[in-house]
Amino acid sequence: QKEVEQDPGPLSVPEGAIVSLNCTYSNSAFQYFMWYRQYSRKGPELLMYTYSSGNKEDGRFTAQVDKSSKYISLFIRDSQPSDSATYLCAMFYNFNKFYFGSGTKLNVKP
């Protein structure tokens, strides 16, 4: 079983839709949770970072962590064509090793 599971998509939505991206994980020791956005032919860019359970909001983006279910989500409100990218979840607990999901490709149609 992989440490972090993520549906690869692709996920195609119309502009203005609410997007929900999700990851599940198996290691209950994970404490730090991140979402990265990767545009085509670019490096991953840190989008959101949360510690422990709960919600964190930043503009149109909300990151949610449910440690009891080992489930994290990223919600994008009022999605824009510029949000079209691959979204990677990542997790960390110690020893400087980050664990990544395989990425979900999102396409927001104008």
Partner 1 sequence: DTAVSQTPKYLVTQMGNDKSIKCEQNLGHDTMYWYKQDSKKFLKIMFSYNNKELIINETVPNRFSPKSPDKAHLNLHINSLELGDSAVYFCASSQENTQYFGPGTRLTVL
Residues making contact with partner 1 (CB under 8 A): 8, 31-32, 34, 36, 38, 41-46, 49, 51, 86, 88, 90, 92, 95-98, 100, 102-103, 105
| Number of separate helices (H) and strands (E) present in the chain | 0, 11
Min separation Cβ 80 and partner 1, Å: 21
Looking at the Cβ atoms of 42 and 109, the one nearer to partner 1 is 42
Cβ pair 47, 39 in contact under 8 A: no
Interacting residues of 31 by C-beta distance below 8 A, sequence separation 6+:
51, 52, 92, 93
Looking at the Cβ atoms of 4 and 76, the one nearer to partner 1 is 4
